[in-house]
Structure 1
Amino acid sequence: MTGAHVKKLSILLLLAGLFQLPHVLAAPATIAVISFAEKPLHLIRATTLYTIGAGTRLQGGDILQTGGAGIQIEGLTPAIVALGPDTRILIATNSKAAQINLLSGWLKLQPVAASTHASLAVNAGGLAFNVTNSASVIHVGSRQSEMFVEDGSQPVTELDNHGKAGRTLTLNHEDFAQRAGDAPLKTTARPEQAFVDALPRPFLDPLVALGKKIPAAPALKKERDVTYEDIAPWVVSPLNLSQQMLASRFAPRLTDPAFRQAVKTNRGGVLEWEIELLRLERRKNPH
């Protein structure tokens, strides 16, 4: 790193001290609960990887990785949420809204009578929408994103590779839509057979709130601190998550040599991560 580069980063570091973390990760309040889980799954909270199960209370900023089985989430009004196997989401929140960032896998939304005026948004593989009073299934695969509206109608907005909103379409009852990369969203009146065949079996029926049957909150079982490999899919994801938010959140792991080297190798030159590396160096060498 050149002297000019260090000087520039020092100025930016000073300015960065004025910034605060976005509200999406600010408050550790309970926002929802895992009401059902077929098998244990993984949770990344702050910088720690946990194994969890049914009854776990969720917070803003939580990252869920379902592994080989599905789960149901309640409390994210105005919908009950189900995740299929091999699904990864990050839940972002503020005081009035929540957003599910679907990195990969299966998501089902079933409307419920909302007890609050909170809203729920979804960001999924080039598609974004605010959840309406409709039931829908979204799948994000390696090549394309797909959406099926079981009931009601749902406006959906196309996002470009930089997360900028483009065209908005309304999907109606039993409409099926596919989008590959930056290509326009294609809609048909019925889902493709391949989509139906791959659909998680629990998604075939309406989701039912479990209410009083939800287990008590279990103690979180810590597995380990996160590695760079754990967070890499989020850092470089097509969801266009804030690099400032990610760098600030995972900066405490930079004290681990392997994590720090992985950041230098993969995020070297990315301003937000360079600032956190410089902060660490200043703490280690205050003079």
Structure 2
Amino acid sequence: MSAQMSKVRRLGYHSMRKGDEGTTWWHARKRSIVRKSFALWSTQTMIQSMPSVNLQFEEAEREADADITILWAEGDHGDAYKFDGTGDHTNILAHTFYPTYQETGTLNGDIHLDDSEKWTSDGNGEGTAFSNVFVHEIGHALGLGHSKRQDAIMFPIYKKGVLEHGSFDLDDKCALNWNYIGPSNLCLFVWLMSEVLPRQIEHKASMDIGSNLMSSMLTRRQSVASKVNDLKKKLQTAVIPQCKEDNNVKERFESLLQKKLDFPYESARQYSKFLLWGQMKLFL
């Protein structure tokens, strides 16, 4: 058996704050969480039996030497997206600029966190768990968008509680490796299941199925085997539209491949042909 190939990508990060933070316990704790969060991304990129990116991060002494700058700030802090303080249910905790945000400029890959928030070192009690938010923001700094999978690190809604540091969802791993290694059939399937199928379930499913889906999402301690069985049942009842000339499904799928995954037109056209088989019967 041949060894798994990987592409090494080395990135530097640098933390800064508007004002003097000093050498407080919280400053040291934040620095530790930052280091562990980057280390987590370093260990969770591999997909078994597939070429995968190997991310290596190191702390840079100077901002000029960093690929990712981490800024703690309040209110108006020098970009077009001022923070809103502790806010309300629409509260913005942080924002991050994609690595390709500017052709020229200094914001690419930068992570900005609202310093007026009540940050905590874990997810217990009052306040916002810094580690939960920061691990998610690293994904954006690496070029990842949001995911529709609730178990994914890149799911857009903040999760209260202690972040599970066991393993990333396959959707996170595929998104990262798609960006840094390139397309693969496995990750195309994962994307189809994560992004396309849920749209059909949301559109077609009855209220009963929707309620069952929500119950499943809220049952966080459900065993892996039980989750898989539930997924099989849902997929068997999920309606995937037939690709006929009168419903434009094939064209919409081609458009998604081009817009979301940067497929060339001909490749998107080729990959969408399998939908012409009609209603797919998955995991029967």
Please indicate the TM-score interval, normalised by the length of the shorter structure. Answer: under 0.3
More strand by share: 1
More helix by share: 2
**Structure with more contact order per residue of length (Cα contacts < 8 Å, sep ≥ 6):** 1
Normalised to the residue count of structure 2, the TM-score between the two structures is: 0.22
